[in-house]
Structure 1
Amino acid sequence: MKKLSIPVLFLLVATLSSCDAIVGIFKAGAITGVIAVVVVIILILWLLSKFRSR
């Protein structure tokens, strides 16, 4: 069983780069953060325009 585990481990390490996974996670987080900030700014501007129109 141990002879099978080591080649499988090396195959996983070679094919799945953890750096690529982390970069993908941070890119998704950055994009989500930018979208959230834009939505909040639009919401604030909309609320200000509602209060000023009264």
Structure 2
Amino acid sequence: MKTLLRILPVAFLALFFTLTMTSCAAIGDIFKAGAYTGIIGVIVVIVLVIWLVSKMFGGGSRNS
């Protein structure tokens, strides 16, 4: 039950972002801003996804 309560807020946040962000608008804005902005954006998204997955599946060194 503790694991479910830890994962639930992250799952709701991911669902919220999935439903509210449109990919076509994001891609259009990236192309308007330039290539370097797109590269930095992709790197930030990849790092964020890796961080979220590690938090969801116990990527920390602390045991509770």
TM-score range, shorter chain: 0.3 to 0.5
Please tell me whether Structure 1 or Structure 2 has the larger radius of gyration of its CA atoms: 1
Q: Structure 2 length normalisation: TM-score?
A: 0.39
So what's the TM-score if we normalise by structure 1?
Answer: 0.46
Higher RCO, Cα 8 Å, sep 6+: 2
